[in-house]
């Protein structure tokens, strides 16, 4: 099944000059969403992750579904101030600004193998921040899997040494 028809282009969102990839049609189709999750899971099965780290916010959708599919625990990487306990924080740049991600300091530990999951990889700033967060806990990031990769942007360059898997490329 082709998943391209389930992604809508929204020009000038969230600001002028950005072409936003809207995945809500994909999420509205149980069949297409299941296909997307299976396509994201397939290349990481042999990597033996112990946890899934989902990046706020649409990475939570794919990340929790992948964690369920792989039989793993799910850890959310949140925007600042959203987690109740002591956190590690990492700032990053976006194609339209800057932000930060946080995880609980006890989210992972030595020996944990973390699969990082997001909906879209563009400039790679969010994924690189997540990779640094995982490293700060003593765990190992084993791969990044995303539903959409914007290949005209330098995302892969930002996640040094981390395998990147994507279902759709634009």
> What confidence score (pLDDT) does residue 20 get?
95
At residue 95 the predicted structure's pLDDT band, cuts being 50, 70 and 90, is: low
- Tell me the C-alpha distance between 32 and 160, whole Å: 31
At residue 93 the predicted structure's pLDDT band, cuts being 50, 70 and 90, is: confident
The least confident of 59-73, 85-99, 142-156 is 85-99
pLDDT at 7 over 90: yes
pLDDT at 77 over 80: yes
48: left (phi over 0), alpha (psi -120 to 50) or beta: left
Please name the fold of domain 46-169: Rossmann fold (3.40.50)
The least confident of 6-10, 97-101, 117-121, 124-128 is 97-101
Residue whose tokens read 């998943």: 3
pLDDT mean over 89-117:
92
pLDDT mean over 65-79:
98
Which residues are the active-site residues? Answer: 58, 95
Chain mean pLDDT for the chain: 96
> What confidence score (pLDDT) does residue 98 get?
83
């Amino acid at each position: 099944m082709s998943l391209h028809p389930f992604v809508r282009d929204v020009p000038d969102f969230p600001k002028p000059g950005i072409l936003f990839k809207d995945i809500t049609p994909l999420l509205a189709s149980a069949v297409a969403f299941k296909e997307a999750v299976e396509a994201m899971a397939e290349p990481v099965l042999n990597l033996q992750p112990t946890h899934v780290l989902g990046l706020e916010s649409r990475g939570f959708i794919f990340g929790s579904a992948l964690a369920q599919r792989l039989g793993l625990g799910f850890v959310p990487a949140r925007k600042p101030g959203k987690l109740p306990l002591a956190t590690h924080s990492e700032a990053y740049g976006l194609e339209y600004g800057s932000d930060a991600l946080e995880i609980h300091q006890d989210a992972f530990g030595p020996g944990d193998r973390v699969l990082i999951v997001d909906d879209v990889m563009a400039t790679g700033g969010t994924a690189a921040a997540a990779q640094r967060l995982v490293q700060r806990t003593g765990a190992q990031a084993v791969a990044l899997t995303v539903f959409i990769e914007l290949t005209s942007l330098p995302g892969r360059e930002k996640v040094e040494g981390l395998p990147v898997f994507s279902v759709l490329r634009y």
